[in-house]
Chains A and B, each alone.
Chain A
Amino acid sequence: MYGFEAMTFNIHGGYLEAIVRGHRSGLLTAADYNNLCQCETLDDIKMHLTATEYGPYLQNEPSPLHTTTIVEKCTLKLVDEYKHMLCQATEPLSTFLEYITYGHMIDNVVLIVTGTLHERDVQELLEKCHPLGMFDSIATLAVAQNMRELYRLVLVDTPLAPYFSECITSEDLDDMNIEIMRNTLYKAYLEDFYRFCQKLGGATAEIMSDLLAFEADRRAVNITINSIGTELTRDDRRKLYSSFGLLYPYGHEELAVCEDIDQVRGVMEKYPPYQSIFSKLSYGESQMLDKAFYEEEVKRLCLSFEQQFHYGVFFAYMRLKEQEIRNLMWISECVAQNQKSRVHDSVVFIF
Chain B
Amino acid sequence: MDLMRSEKMTLVQLIIPVESAHRAVSYLGELGLLQFRDLNDDKSPFQRTFVNQVKRCAEMSRKLRFFKDQIHKAGLLSSALPTLQPDVDLEALETQLAEHEHELIEMNANSEKLQQTYNELLEFKIVLQKAGVFLVSSKGYENAEGRELDDSVYPSDYPESASLLEQATQSGSSISSGLRFISGIILKSKVLLFERMLFRATRGNLLFNQASADDLIMDPVSSELVEKTVFVVFFSGEQAKTKVLKICEAFGANCYPVPEDLTKQTQITQEVLSRLSELETTLDVGIRHRNAALHSIGFHLTIWMNMVKREKAVFDTLNMLNFDVTKKCLVGEGWCPIFAKPQIQEALQRATHDSNSQVGIIFHVMDTVESPPTYFRTNTFTNAYQEIVDAYGVAKYQEANPAVYTVITFPFLFAVMFGDWGHGICLLLGALILIAREGKLSSQKLGSFMEMLFGGRYVLLLMSIFSIYCGLIYNEFFSVPFHIFGDSAYKCRDKSCRDAYTIGYIKYRDAYPFGVDPSWRGSRSELPFLNSLKMKMSILFGVAQMNLGIILSYFNSIFFNNSLDIRYQFVPQMIFLNSLFGYLSLLIIVKWCTGSQADLYHVMIYMFLSPFDDLGENELFWGQRPLQILLLLSALVAVPWMLFPKPFILRKLHTERFQGRAYGILRSSELDADSEPGSARQHVEFNFSEVFVHQMIHSIEFVLGSVSNTASYLRLWALSLAHSELSTVFYEKVLLLAWGYENFLIRMVGLAVFAFATAFILLMMETLSAFLHALRLHWVEFQNKFYAGDGYKFKPFSFAALADDED
Query: Nearest A residue to B52 by beta-carbon distance?
Result: A43
Which of the candidate stretches A57-65, A272-280, A302-310 sits at the interface with the other chain? A57-65
Return A212 CB to nearest CB of chain B, in Å: 32
Whether the Cβ atoms of B44 and A60 lie closer than 8 Å is no
The chain B residue sitting closest to A31, CB to CB, is B44
> Given A136-B193, A137-B193, A142-B246, do A51 and B200 touch, yes or no (CB 8 Å)?
no
B46 A44 Cβ-Cβ under 8 A: yes
**Of residues 16 to 73 in B, which have CB atoms within 8 Å of A's CB atoms?**
44-47, 51, 54-55, 58-59, 62, 65-66
A122 touches B249 (CB 8 A): yes
A140 at the interface (CB under 8 A from B): yes
**A143, B45: Cβ atoms under 8 Å?**
no
Contacts of B193 in A (CB 8 A): 136-137, 157
A129 at the interface (CB under 8 A from B): no
Which residues of chain B are near A48, meaning CB under 8 Å?
44-46
The one of B45, B200, B252 in contact with A153, judged by C-beta atoms closer than 8 angstroms, is B200
B609 CB contacts on chain A under 8 angstroms? none
CB pair A143 B243 closer than 8 Å: yes
Indicate whether A35 reaches chain B with its CB closer than 8 angstroms.
yes
B247 interface residue per 8 A CB criterion? yes
Q: Which of A63, A143, A157 has the most CB of B within 10 A?
A: A143
Closest A residue to B244 by beta carbon equals A143
- When the two chains form the complex, which single residue of B46, B62, B190, B247 contacts A60, counting CB atoms closer than 8 Å? B62
Please indicate the chain B residues that have their CB under 8 angstroms from the CB of A59 in the complex. 58, 62, 65
A35 to B200, CA, bound (A): 54
Q: Residues of B contacting A141 with CB < 8 Å?
A: 250
> Do A122 and B250 touch across chains, with their CB atoms under 8 A apart?
yes
Mark out the residues of chain B between 207 and 266 whose CB falls within 8 Å of any chain A CB in the assembled complex: 243, 246-247, 249-252
Kindly state whether residue A223 has any CB partner on chain B within 8 Å.
Answer: no
Interface of B is mostly: helix
Q: A142 CA to B245 CA in the complex, in Å?
A: 11
CB distance from B660 to the nearest CB of A (A): 44
Q: Are B45 and A51 in contact, CB atoms less than 8 angstroms apart?
A: yes
A38 contact from B44, B62, B246, B252, Cβ within 8 A: B44
Known: A60-B65, A60-B66. A47 touches B46 (CB 8 A): yes
- Closest CB of chain A to B468's CB: distance in Å? 44
With an 8 A cutoff between CB atoms, is B590 at the interface?
no
Given the complex, which residues of A lie within 8 Å of B200, measured CB to CB? 152-153
A39 at the interface (CB under 8 A from B): yes
Q: Is the interface of A mostly helix, strand, loop or mixed?
A: helix
Distance (whole angstroms) from the CB of B71 to the closest CB of chain A: 15
Instruction: Flag if B243 contacts A39 (CB, 8 Å).
Output: no
Shortest beta-carbon distance from B194 to chain A in Å? 9
Quick one: which of A19-72 are within 8 Å of B by CB?
Answer: 35, 38-40, 43-44, 47-48, 50-51, 59-63
- Measured between beta carbons, the chain A residues less than 8 angstroms from B251 are 137, 139-140
Q: In whole angstroms, what is the CA distance A152 to B203 when docked? A: 10
For the complex, what is the distance from the CA of A94 to the CA of B264, rounded to whole Å? 55
User: What residues on A are CB-neighbors of B404 within 8 Å?
Assistant: none
Q: How far is the CB of A191 from chain B (nearest CB, A)?
A: 28
Number of interface residues of A (CB under 8 A): 27
**Interchain CB contact under 8 A, A63 and B247:** no
Distance of A38 Cα from B45 Cα, bound (Å): 11
A153 with B197, Cβ < 8 A, contacts A139-B249, A143-B247 known: yes
Q: Are B243 and A47 in contact (CB under 8 A)?
A: no
Q: What residues on B are CB-neighbors of A136 within 8 Å?
A: 190, 193
Decide: B250 and A139 in contact? CB cutoff 8 A: yes
Contact of A140 among B46, B62, B197 (CB under 8 A): B197
CB distance from B636 to the nearest CB of A (A): 48
The interface residues of chain A lying within 8 Å CB-to-CB of B66 are 60
Bound-complex Cα distance A48 to B55 (A): 11
B673 lies within 8 A of chain A by Cβ: no
B201 engages A143 (CB within 8 Å): yes
Q: How far is the CA of A40 from the CA of B55 in the complex (A)?
A: 14
A47/B201 in contact, CB under 8 A = no
For residue A62, which residue of chain B has the nearest CB? B62
A60 contact set on B, CB distance < 8 A: 62, 65-66
Q: Do B201 and A153 have beta carbons less than 8 Å apart?
A: yes
For A153, list chain B residues within 8 Å (CB): 197, 200-201
Proximity string of chain B (184-201) to chain A, C-beta cutoff 8 Å, 1 when within and 0 when not? 000000100100110011
Whether A142 contacts B45 in the complex (CB less than 8 A), given A60-B62, A62-B62, comes out as no
Q: How far is the CB of B233 from chain A (nearest CB, A)?
A: 15
Distance of A157 Cα from B201 Cα, bound (Å) = 14
| Partner pick for B250 among A35, A61, A62, A140, CB 8 A cutoff | A140
Complex Cα–Cα for A25 and B283 (A): 49
B41 CB, nearest partner CB in chain A, Å: 13
B198 to chain A, nearest CB (A): 10
Alpha-carbon distance between A39 and B247 when the two chains are bound, in angstroms: 46
Question: Do A137 and B197 touch (CB < 8 A)?
Answer: yes
Contacts of B252 in A (CB 8 A): 139
Distance, CA A157 to CA B251, complexed state (A): 15
CB distance from A168 to the nearest CB of B (A): 15
B201 — which chain A residues lie within 8 A by C-beta?
143, 153
Interface 1/0 per residue, A100-112 and B, CB below 8 Å: 0000000000000
Measured CB to CB, the closest approach of chain B to A97, in angstroms, equals 23
Closest chain-A Cβ to B340's Cβ sits at a distance in Å of: 31
Measured CB to CB, the nearest residue on chain B to A39 is: B46
B55 touches A142 (CB 8 A): no
Query: Could you say which residues of chain A place their CB within 8 Å of the CB of B54?
Result: 47
Q: Which residues of A contact B249 (CB under 8 A)?
A: 122, 139
Distance, CA A137 to CA B54, complexed state (A): 46
1/0 contact string of A67-100 vs chain B (CB within 8 Å): 0000000000000000000000000000000000
Residues in A with CB closer than 8 Å to B55 are 43, 47
**Chain A residues near B51 (CB-CB < 8 A):** 47
| Residues in chain B near residue A139, CB distance under 8 A | 249-252
Which A residues lie within 8 Å of B65 (CB)? 59-60
Instruction: Kindly report which residue of chain B lies nearest to residue A154, judged by CB atoms.
Output: B197
Query: Which residues of A lie under 8 Å from residue B243 when comparing CB positions?
Result: 143
Closest CB of chain B to A228's CB: distance in Å?
37
Bound-state CA distance A43–B252 (Å) is 36
Tell me the complex Cα distance, A142–B201, Å: 12
Q: Which residues of A contact B62 (CB under 8 A)?
A: 59-63
Q: Which residue of B lies closest to A152 (CB)?
A: B200
Residue of A nearest to B105 (CB): A62
Q: Which of chain A's residues have a CB closer than 8 A to the CB of B246?
A: 140, 142-143
CB neighbours (8 Å) of A44 from chain B are: 46
**Please, which residue of chain B has its CB at the minimum distance from the CB of A140?**
B250
Contacts of A62 in B (CB 8 A): 59, 62
Flag if A47 contacts B250 (CB, 8 Å). Answer: no
When C-beta atoms are compared, the residue in chain B nearest to A40 turns out to be: B46
Closest to B61 in A: A59
Q: A47-B58, A143-B201, A153-B197 are in contact. Are A137 and B46 (CB under 8 A)?
A: no
Cα separation A61 to B66 with both chains bound (whole Å): 10
Q: Looking at the assembled complex, report how far the CB atom of B203 sits from the nearest CB atom of chain A, in whole angstroms.
A: 10
**Minimum distance in angstroms from B601 CB to a CB of chain A:** 46
On chain B, the residues within 8 Å of A38 by CB distance are: 44, 47
A40 to B54, CA, bound (A): 16
Q: How far is the CB of B254 from chain A (nearest CB, A)?
A: 14
Complex CA gap A63/B249 in Å reads 34
Proximity bits, B127-146, A CB within 8 Å = 1, else 0: 00000000000000000000
> How near does chain B come to A321, taking the closest CB pair, in angstroms?
23
Closest 5 CB pairs of A and B: A139-B250, A44-B46, A140-B250, A35-B44, A143-B246
Which of A's residues lie within 8 Å of B, judged by CB?
35, 38-40, 43-44, 47-48, 50-51, 59-63, 122, 136-137, 139-143, 152-154, 157
24 sampled A-B residue pairs with Cβ under 8 A = A43-B55, A47-B51, A47-B55, A48-B45, A50-B58, A60-B65, A61-B62, A63-B62, A137-B193, A139-B252, A140-B197, A140-B246, A140-B247, A141-B250, A142-B246, A143-B243, A143-B246, A143-B247, A152-B200, A153-B197, A153-B200, A153-B201, A154-B197, A157-B193
Q: Told that A47-B58, A48-B46 touch, could you supply 7 new A-B pairs with CB distance under 8 A?
A: A136-B190, A139-B252, A140-B250, A142-B250, A143-B246, A143-B247, A152-B200
